[in-house]
Structure 1
Amino acid sequence: MKRQRRLGAVAAATALTLGLAACAGGASDNQSTSGGSGSLTFRSWSPIEQTTQQMIAAFKQANPDAKIDATIFNYPEYLVDLQTRVASNTMPDMVGLQPGALTQQYRTNLMPLQDCAEKTWGADWQQKFYPIGLEQARMGNPAGDENFYALPLLVQTVNLWANTKIFEEKHAQIPQTWDQLKSTVNQLKGGEYAPFMLPAKDSWLRNVVFLQIANNIEPGLVYKAEDGSDTWTNPKIVEAFDYWGKLFTEGIAQKGAIGLDAYPTGANQFEAGNAAMIPLGAWWIQQSDPTKTGLPPLSEGMSGYQPFLFPTIPGGAAQPQLVGGIDVSLGISKNTKDPDLACKVLTDWIAGAGAQKLVNTFNDLPAVTGLNPEKFTSDKQQQIWTTLTSDWMPQVKYSRYLKTPQMDTALGDALSGIATGELTPQAAAEKVQAEQQKVNG
């Protein structure tokens, strides 16, 4: 199953209920197997239903007396369900969350998790996690509130992917600079594929591509504009909007890019070999899930793919800047009747037996370091996994998210306006800045 669980980028799906008896996994460092009885409810959009079932089954082996009622929704449906349950005082014991706005929306309904983490992993528990995950876990907390109301389950980088078969056939090199990107696109034109497939219909994808560009031109500047210490009309941010526009005006993106969705269309086209490059993220490695059969040739063992970072921009940082963060995190209701069981489940799924089942599917990257799949199907798959988890994730400094949904929407709309020619980069920057002023009051 592809990335249908995220970001509302696909059509609604029927909620899948896993009324599974399950239980607690003691594969984490200091985790005991006592207290592994009782029951709890879990609601989320991620991990996907089949993977969640495997995680529960692994948990059950260590704690056969516990029960977990788990329901996995499509993302938009999940948001409605969660809001409804909170309003009726029936919030699930454990919930999936995204950093920033979603976590903050329910912060007063959530239990701080640092005591659970310390009880399970010890006083130095934060050292287990990739730094960007813990940083984003507290994104949006009120000043002085250092609690963790959610802990990351999966993390990711955003980056680009190359179809290595096409590159090898055309004797092309993966681009490392903007000028190389343009020349490579020109070199690859004329085939029955898009040299650079940009699924620009989706606001989330427009935003993550822009944030890679902006953080190369002036690392970290957009987040200063967001917190009010700078502005979106800073010439360096206007330049980033301009380079986003160049993807269209200089013929880098395919014609009609603004009408192409990432999922399912763009992803399916890329997996079918109809594009040489596409901007997605670390989650693409899930296409090679060794627990599945009948994978497309390019996805088998990742044989046809190579990840690379967004090319550097003239006058910007000398090296590509890594952008990414939390894919999904987990929170516990402060009204749960069994906080000990909820803690055991949460920590097991993050770094225990359940986590191992999750990682075995290459669903995305684990939030904790040193957790690897038990089976690799090719040397290339293992090499790509190592690149993502050992080389890139520890270096991710910049968030793929803005702090509020209003600003995510404003940025996505401005980028759409540039892509269609309705806005100049300067006008786009001014519109985003006007919305930022409203948000910041």
Structure 2
Amino acid sequence: MKLRKSLAVAVAGAAAVGLTACAGGAAPTQNGGEGDADTVTFRSWSPIEQTTRQMIEAFEGENEGSSIDATIFNYPEYLVDLQSRASSNTMPDIVGLQPGALTQQYRDNLMPLQDCAAETWGDDWQDRFYPIGIEQSRMGNPEGDENFYSLPILTQTVNLWANSNIFDDAGLEVPKTWDDLKSVTEELSGGDAAPFLLPAKDSWLRNVVFLQIANNVSPGTVYEAEDGTIPWTDPAIVEAFSYWSKLFSDGIAQDGAIGLDAYPSAVNQFEAGNAAMIPLGAWWIQQSDPTKSDIPPLSEGMSGYEPFLFPTIPGGASESQFVGGIDVSLGISKNTANPDLACKVLTDFIAGSGAQKLVNTMNDVPAVTGLSPEEFTSEKQEEIWNLFVDEWLPQVQYSRYFESPKLDQAVADALAAIATGDATPEEAAASVQSVQDTLN
């Protein structure tokens, strides 16, 4: 997933546009800045450094005298830096976050953002966002706390992608049901490309595939288990684990799937044409970024790809369910010395000139409606973009995240145990319930 994909650390040559060479840069003041009322600091793992540079240039070009001091980390390094700064009370002015666990971990360090949003966009500001983004922005808040401690700049669906060239050559349609998936996999077996490339090594990938399965088996039930309303051993949840198991026992996933990571291994194979299907998400459209050169043939204008929803499950929902949510969101430190400027930067990155630069690279789908790239390189690229923003994202109601990091890991571990044959679906469900019991 792009969220955890290795990203370039900001380089010293970017200093002219406010990017520091490495984590920390010059010794920060208590609020994470440099003591300059016209500068705000920004730390995150996303957007990537090249895109962040363009966003900063756009903002600074319209706000003479203001500057943004930014560093983009690899995701694991960012988490370490953020934790260190929070513990030493040197939080950056603006920080990259994810909904649920990560935002809640730093809630006490963050200022509520609803006043910033209302002052910028008016009292009806929530209407600008896709509903799933608003819902997830408060995910995990304590009961009665209606504050927004972060706001999204990018959203996404999780779904499947097909190599349309392989499907066209074979005279096949993308699968809509589980039986279709099995049939298509069998038809494509024995060829040069893997029929269904499952990078099951990554815990996040296992979980997003499982959540698509679970919501197709019984829409919304998995979240009832998450909040303790029903046990994880509920028959619908066990059935969802069973269909995850069938990916392996029915020969749909490739041999050795549990040892394959998504980035860089699986995505490189998919982009090279060595797989017919792969589970990723809306962010895959970034492979066709119009601002890049030397794009592989399949990715140029999205010519070789087709997105589709996870197939329906026998006895489950009659139509494929939409799962997704926030890609990356931003928060503002409550100790910032520059709250007005920080608000101005954050809202610009969401829906202003900075956001336009972000969308132009197709880094992912915007968090607000009405934003589109200024250039499309093909009709197919534009059709796929419009499919996401006009049809799929407005229908997303099921989250691709768990609120608790412990539960998130428990589900990922249970799925890995099933994949390796170390646990049955029933045993996997019971193992998650044992973790749930400690949370309750």
Q: Does the alignment reach a TM-score above 0.5?
A: yes
Residue number in structure 1 paired with 2:15: 19
1:310 corresponding residue in structure 2? 310
Matched with 1:386 is: 386
Pairing 1:415-426 to 2, within 5 Å after superposition:
415-426=415-426
**Alpha-carbon distance in 2 for matches of 1:86, 1:418:** 37
- Partners of 2:197 and 2:51 lie apart in 1 by 29
Aligned length: 423
Structure 2 segments unaligned to the other structure (5+ residues): 20-35
Matched with 2:375 is 375
Distance 2:53 2:10 in 1: 14
- Corresponding residue for 1:74? 74
Tell me the C-alpha RMSD between the 2 structures: 1.5
C-alpha distance after superposition, 1:47-77 (max 9, x if no partner): 0000000000000111120111100000000
Name the aligned partner's letter for residue 327 of structure 1: D
2:439 maps to 1:439: yes
Match of 1:402 in 2: 402
| Structure 1 CA distance for aligned equivalents of residues 260 and 10 of structure 2 | 26
Secondary structure of residue in 1 paired with 2:255: coil
What is the match of residue 237 of structure 2? 237
The equivalent of 2:339 in structure 1 is 339
Distance 1:13 1:122, change over 3 A: closer
The code of the aligned residue for 2:122 comes to G
1:305 and 1:276 map into 2 onto residues whose CA distance is 9
1:375 counterpart SS class: coil
Work out whether residues 22 and 64 of structure 1, in 8 Å CA contact, stay in contact via their aligned partners in 2: no
Q: Deviations over 1:139-166 (max 9, x none)?
A: 0101000000000010000000000000
Q: Distance in 1 between matches of 2:207 and 2:433?
A: 15
Aligned mates of 2:9, 2:148 — CA distance in 1: 31
Letter matched to residue 15 of structure 2: G
Distance 2:44 2:283 in 1: 18
Cα distance, 1:20–1:130 mapped onto 2, change above 3 Å: farther
Tell me the distance in 1 between the aligned counterparts of 2:125 and 2:11: 33
The separation in 1 between residues aligned to 2:439 and 2:418, in whole angstroms, is 22
CA distance in 2, matches of 1:20, 1:402: 39
Query: Which residue of the partner structure matches residue 130 of structure 2?
Result: 130
| Cross-structure match for 1:287 | 287
Aligned to 2:255: 255
SS where residue 330 of structure 2 aligns? strand
Contact kept, 8 Å, 2:8 with 2:49, in 1: the verdict is no
Output the CA distance in 2 between the equivalents of 1:180 and 1:80.
44
- 2:174 equivalent to 1:174: yes
Aligned: 1:351 with 2:347: no
> How far does residue 374 in structure 1 lie from its aligned partner after superposition?
0.3
- The residue that corresponds to 1:109 in the other structure is 109
* Equivalent pair of 1:299/1:305 in contact (CA under 8 Å): yes
Per-residue CA deviation, residues 348-381 of structure 1 (Å, 9 max, x unaligned), is 0000000000000000000001100000000000
Aligned partner letter, 1:102? L
Q: Counterpart in 1 of 2:118?
A: 118
TM-score normalised by L of structure 1? 0.94
Contact 1:178 1:313 in 2 (8 A): yes
CA contact (8 A) 1:55 1:358 kept: yes
Q: Is the 8 A contact 1:271 1:296 kept in 2?
A: yes
- Give 1:173 deviation, angstroms: 1.0
CA drift at 1:19:
3.4
> Identity of paired residues, percent?
69
Deviation at 1:310, TM superposition (A): 0.2
Query: In structure 2, what is the equivalent of residue 26 of structure 1?
Result: none
TM-fit CA distance, 1:16: 4.1
Deviation, 1:20, is: 4.4
Please, which runs of 5 or more residues in structure 1 have no aligned partner? Answer: 24-35
Counterpart of 2:162 in structure 1 is 162
1:380-407 deviation digits (Å, cap 9, x = unpaired): 0000000111100000000000001111
Correspondence 1:169-248 to 2 at 5 A: 169-248=169-248
Alignment of 1:22-33 (within 5 A): none
Residues 260 and 219 of structure 1, relative CA distance in 2, 3 Å threshold: same
